Amino acid sequence: MKRLRRHGHESQRDRLKQELFQFNKTVEHGFPHQPSALGYSPSLQLLAIGTRSGAIKLYGAPGVEFMGLHDENAAVTQVHFLPRQVELVTLLDDNSLHMWTLRAHKGLSELLEIGRFTLTGPPGAPPSVTRVTAVLAHSSGELLLLGTEGGHVFIVEVPGFRELEERNISLDQISSSVPNDYIGRRNLEHVEALQENPVNPNQVVIGYGRGLMVIWDLKKRCAVQHIPATQQLESVWWTEDGSYILSSHSDGSYCRWMVGEEDMNEEEEKSDIPYGHFPCKAISKIVQLSTKEGPPFLVFSGGMPRASYGDRHCITVIHGKTHVALDFTSRIIDFFVIRGGQQHTEDPSALVVLVEEELVAIDLQTEGWPVIQAPYLVPLHSSAITCSHHISVIPLKLWERIIAAGHLQNTHYSKKPWPITGGQNLAPDPPQRDLLLTGHEDGTVHFWDASGVCLYPLYKLSTAGVFHTDADPNDNMNQGTEGEWPPFRKVGCFDPYSDDPRLGIQKIHLCKYSGYLTVAGTAGQILVLELNDEAAEQTVEAKVVDLLQGQEGFRWKGHTQLDVREEPVLFPPGFQPFALVQCQPPAVVTALTLHSEWKLVAFGTSHGFGVYDYQQKNSVLIKCTLNPSDQLAMEGPLSRVKSIKKSLRQSFRRIRRSRVSLRKHHANNAAKLHDANARLEAELAEMELAPVQRKIEARSSDDSFTGLVRMLYFADTFLSDSSHHTPSLWAGTNGGCVFAYMLRFPPVEHRADEPVTAHPAKEIQLMHRAPVVGIVVLDGRGTPLPEPLEVAHDLARSPDMQGSHHLLVISEEQFKVFTLPKVSAKMKLKLTAVDGSRVRRVGVAWFGSSRSEDYGENGLLVLTNQGDVHVVSLPAVKMQVHYPCIRREDVSGIASCVFTKHGQGFYLISPSEFERFSLSTRHLVEPRCLVEPPPQSGTSTQHRPRPAYRNASQDGGHDAESGARCVMEHALLNDEKVLQEIQKSLEADQMTFLENNVKSAVA
């Protein structure tokens, strides 16, 4: 009976876990790392980006996002959508082709890989024969034309990837039709470009590397025209009326060729070098689009004068007399132009450019061609991210004020909406407003709307204006001057260069109820800011705090502090600084917290911690924690060579020791492993195992940085006796020490005049001296204390001050609960791992039940150095669930992780991307979208004849049979609704097949 009751209790607990906890990686925010290919579907209005790591990402209207990953660890080199279909093809640099589809399942679309293909040449042929260099997705949606390094063009039927050998275009066929005088002078080289005639799908132009272009008729299977260009070919564009072909070349020129029935002479080649006459770089891509009235748009990338501007990344747009060279800060990957209107028949409306570090959309219909603000793919790393801070459930008033301040910063953006609008976003509206704040190397703080799938920029705060820096605001080498040639215009927001690395933001704390914000930086600066809806000119005075407290024998060897501007500074609407604390020595601020109800800010560095009263602009407490033997703490981050060498030596010694012990125990362990596993399985059925706990290693007090402050926490709790609760500050250090200070406030009427005082109350030294990474006070109900002002705004229940409080101290090694005010140990939980896990991040979260709106539990979120995420129950401090989340080798990802108050988290998977994950069954933010196939007939395609791509000798029966097979292949890729339509199409094909047979029989 006892065992049954226990199992019943366990199953009940397991059901509760299923209601509360569920791990999901939900969405990736930001800009893809190392993009390598771009694709666009005008019919689906979807954008696709391929990356060097083999990822493929699709974007449509805001909230419409899909992601896929190739099994091969190879870069995506090309992406092509099949016209008017929900399929796309990717080419990898290992020469493999992959077919993807957007399949509908339970009312939502999902991106799936449905086929892969690699060209195979004849036995003994060199790899260049089948090395794909150019891909053309034919307008029929049933063919791929693959140009190769060997000069051949292979024709492949899709989606089945069946090579139509009889339709292939060999180099010999081309060579035999080219004039002898051209062949005699040069080899054709690889296929550089493939383009289809916009008005005759039976014709394609094949462009070869040496310059020759051949117009090939797919129906007649012969060349109908040769265009003998003499320069190295880079790209080809066929104008929309089919009358001209544009070619761009390696010398910075482009040529216009008339399409006719007869071959051209070289003398008819009309070349234009836009930025000549000095040698120019290649024009890598050229596009010309007509307008209903007026001159066409000519857009091309590259072509800059090699000597003067060879390092610029430019796309030139020419429309009539308007000529602009858009100057980007990173390498151009690709671009495309969008036409306006539902049928994409209106004038060009937007130019979308993918560069290595951002995506930029230019409004071509508004004077001045301004940039359109992107709702996604925003470069989070416009300056390198140095820290993050998440705030849940933002009050509407604060939200609106931040948005209003952001709007004033964005007046240079176009008023036009985002031009990529494909798919339907079916995700419900976010239940709350969430903010993610990112601190950056250049001293800026970016505010992001993190409520939904799109991480949308709301506002940017810059702290550089408070200080004197080396940068001259008027010094901008990229600013175009009147009459400059080329006519440069700087676009994009990616700026990898920081004016001064000391400006870097290290810690952020925002109070969502009061609108007070505090940010701390690399050079020991702490700014306190408040939200102001009007611009204000004011002086920010620095309060210098000496954390060494006059100790002898220490000399700071690191960077100097930033010089504060003595003159008044005009601050725009938004967060404006009104108080500044400067730590001495000016070391990196390692801990920061704000209590807006008490008007206090606590800060810590590797030398100590302090409390600052920002109402009176006065110091309340200064405490030095520096160990007398710790000289490394005096060197700063710019003088770490010695410590790095020491760390490397220690690492190598540990590796050697571990290898020796592994050799000794390997034989014994291998023999015992099987028996141990068998015994373990038998015992699991009989008893409830205690978790395996690793041995905690005591650390020496002589270790470096023992005085570094890791954690600061304000709490109103019991320190002196169990009848009187008082405000307090708790500080945890790297050496396992916890300091508690009692704070005494004057009466409310004298708060502005009389000082706040701090008195030492408690000091705890953890036995194993493990770094303290978290401190939480639990009230009489075992609930974490509410945030400042949360109770005053009726958003949290008042803490229970009747029962006894408990102090939870989280070190890297264990979780330990102490009673208050006696500070006696009550319970502890060692980190349950045998592989050397250490706690890296902690956060308190509320887990609401997915089945009951009224039920929920508080839990402690824990991230380890192994990349595992744990949930620990409160106040019982028992392990609930754990999941692998981040690769243990991804040190920067683990260091960047930030938890939310509702069981979600963010971490950097690259310098430019956050991975979002959820541990809660109730709070889940993920894309939920649907992309429907476009109509197969439309006004823009009615005039186009169906291409005769099949063998002319095949009868109608074979055509019907092949068509039916293709239809059946498509049937496997769509939902039930589409299946019914395909069934009708299949029956129609069968009727055609019967009719043809009957006619032939009658004949």
Position 9 pLDDT exceeds 60: no
Element at 695 (helix H, strand E) = none
Residue 511: DSSP 8-state: -
Q: pLDDT at position 816, please?
A: 95
Position 663 pLDDT exceeds 50: no
Q: Give the three-class secondary structure for 437.
A: strand
Report strand pairing: 709-718 vs 618-624. Answer: unpaired
Which pair of tokens denotes residue 186?
Answer: 């040069």
Domains of the chain as residue ranges with CATH: 230-379 (2.120.10.30), 384-475+500-624 (no CATH), 716-831 (no CATH), 837-930 (no CATH)
Given a contact cutoff of 8 angstroms between Cβ atoms, the answer to whether 596 and 516 are in contact is yes
Q: Is 169 left (phi over 0), alpha (psi -120 to 50) or beta?
A: beta
Cα separation of 299 and 347, whole Å?
14
Position 754 pLDDT exceeds 90: yes
Cα separation of 750 and 756, whole Å?
10
Q: Give the three-class secondary structure for 165.
A: helix
Q: pLDDT at position 341, please?
A: 63
Q: pLDDT at position 193, please?
A: 97
DSSP result, 352-364: EEEETTEEEEEES
User: Which whole-number Å values give the CA distances from 94 to 69, 79, 127, 131, in the listed order?
Assistant: 15, 14, 11, 9
Closest CA to 538 of 573, 562, 571: 571
Which pair of tokens denotes residue 768?
Answer: 């194993």
**Residue pLDDT, tens place only, 40-97:** 999 999 999 999 999 999 999 999 999 999 998 899 999 999 999 999 999 999 999 9
Mean pLDDT value of segment 243-270 = 81
Amino acid at the residue 536: A
Cα separation of 3 and 42, whole Å?
64
Measure the CA dihedral 978/138/91/928, to 10°: -30
Q: How confident is the model at residue 117 (pLDDT cuts 50, 70, 90)?
A: very high
Given a contact cutoff of 8 angstroms between Cβ atoms, the answer to whether 353 and 335 are in contact is yes
| Share in percent of the chain as helix, strand, coil (round to 5) | 15, 40, 45
Q: How confident is the model at residue 853 (pLDDT cuts 50, 70, 90)?
A: confident
Q: pLDDT at position 72, please?
A: 84
Q: pLDDT at position 675, please?
A: 55
Given a contact cutoff of 8 angstroms between Cβ atoms, the answer to whether 155 and 163 are in contact is yes
Q: pLDDT at position 793, please?
A: 87
| Partners of 864 in the β-ladder | 839
Q: What count of other Cβ atoms lies within 10 Å of the Cβ of residue 9?
A: 10
Measured in degrees and rounded to the nearest 5, phi and psi for residue 197 equal -65, 120
- With vertex at residue 199, the alpha carbon angle to CA 198 and CA 202, rounded to the nearest 5 degrees, is 90
Cα separation of 804 and 826, whole Å?
12
Q: What is the residue whose two structure tokens read 């991230």? A: 863
Q: How confident is the model at residue 831 (pLDDT cuts 50, 70, 90)?
A: confident
Lowest pLDDT segment from 133-147, 364-378, 944-958 = 944-958
Q: How confident is the model at residue 479 (pLDDT cuts 50, 70, 90)?
A: low
Closest CA to 141 of 956, 941, 997, 888: 941
Element at 930 (helix H, strand E) = strand 929-930
Cα separation of 7 and 653, whole Å?
48
DSSP result, 191-211: EEEEEEETTEEEEEEEEETTS
Q: What count of other Cβ atoms lies within 10 Å of the Cβ of residue 665?
A: 11
Q: Give the three-class secondary structure for 557.
A: coil
**Residue pLDDT, tens place only, 506-545:** 999 999 999 999 999 999 999 999 999 999 999 998 999 9
Cα separation of 873 and 785, whole Å?
15
Given a contact cutoff of 8 angstroms between Cβ atoms, the answer to whether 27 and 453 are in contact is yes
Cα separation of 655 and 666, whole Å?
16
Closest CA to 301 of 255, 348, 333: 333
Average pLDDT, the chain: 85
Position 661 pLDDT exceeds 90: no
Measured in degrees and rounded to the nearest 5, phi and psi for residue 326 equal -70, 120
The answer for residues whose C-beta is within 8 angstroms of residue 158's C-beta and 6 or more apart is: 82, 87, 89, 99, 141, 142, 143, 144
Position 485 pLDDT exceeds 50: yes
Position 782 pLDDT exceeds 60: yes
Q: How confident is the model at residue 722 (pLDDT cuts 50, 70, 90)?
A: confident
Listed in order, strand segments (DSSP E) in 264-370 are 270-272, 283-289, 297-302, 313-319, 322-328, 332-339, 348-355, 358-363
Q: Is 369 left (phi over 0), alpha (psi -120 to 50) or beta?
A: left
Q: How confident is the model at residue 648 (pLDDT cuts 50, 70, 90)?
A: low
Given a contact cutoff of 8 angstroms between Cβ atoms, the answer to whether 283 and 234 are in contact is yes
Cα of 427 vs its chain's centroid, Å: 20
Q: pLDDT at position 571, please?
A: 96
Cα separation of 69 and 883, whole Å?
22
| Partners of 550 in the β-ladder | none
Which pair of tokens denotes residue 669?
Answer: 């362990």
Q: What count of other Cβ atoms lies within 10 Å of the Cβ of residue 222?
A: 11
Position 282 pLDDT exceeds 50: yes
Which pair of tokens denotes residue 554?
Answer: 């220490």
Cα separation of 146 and 126, whole Å?
17
| Partners of 148 in the β-ladder | 132
Helix 976-1002 to helix 956-971 angle (10° resolution) is: 170
Q: Is 962 left (phi over 0), alpha (psi -120 to 50) or beta?
A: alpha
Which pair of tokens denotes residue 334?
Answer: 């690709």
Cα separation of 707 and 256, whole Å?
72
Q: How confident is the model at residue 810 (pLDDT cuts 50, 70, 90)?
A: very high
Q: How confident is the model at residue 635 (pLDDT cuts 50, 70, 90)?
A: confident
Mean pLDDT value of segment 793-817 = 91
Mean pLDDT value of segment 786-793 = 91
Q: pLDDT at position 500, please?
A: 86
Which pair of tokens denotes residue 114?
Answer: 């449905």
Q: What count of other Cβ atoms lies within 10 Å of the Cβ of residue 434?
A: 23
Q: Quote the percentage of the chain above a pLDDT of 70.
A: 81
The answer for residues whose C-beta is within 8 angstroms of residue 277's C-beta and 6 or more apart is: none
Cα separation of 131 and 133, whole Å?
6
Measured in degrees and rounded to the nearest 5, phi and psi for residue 618 equal -145, 150
573 prior amide bond cis, ω within 30: no
Measure the CA dihedral 951/954/959/960, to 10°: 180
| Partners of 576 in the β-ladder | 530
Cα separation of 576 and 518, whole Å?
11
Which pair of tokens denotes residue 564?
Answer: 């504060």
Q: What count of other Cβ atoms lies within 10 Å of the Cβ of residue 748?
A: 7
Residue 793: DSSP 8-state: T
Q: pLDDT at position 647, please?
A: 55
Residues in the chain: 1003
Q: How confident is the model at residue 484 (pLDDT cuts 50, 70, 90)?
A: confident
Give Rg (Cα) of the chain. Answer: 34
Q: pLDDT at position 662, please?
A: 45
Q: pLDDT at position 261, please?
A: 58
Given a contact cutoff of 8 angstroms between Cβ atoms, the answer to whether 581 and 588 are in contact is no
Mean pLDDT value of segment 154-175 = 91
Q: Quote the percentage of the chain above a pLDDT of 90.
A: 67
Q: pLDDT at position 698, please?
A: 58
Given a contact cutoff of 8 angstroms between Cβ atoms, the answer to whether 731 and 712 are in contact is yes
Q: What count of other Cβ atoms lies within 10 Å of the Cβ of residue 216?
A: 22
Q: pLDDT at position 721, please?
A: 86
**Residue pLDDT, tens place only, 563-620:** 999 999 999 999 999 999 999 999 999 999 999 999 999 999 999 999 999 999 999 9
Position 494 pLDDT exceeds 50: yes
Mean pLDDT value of segment 301-315 = 95
Position 285 pLDDT exceeds 80: yes
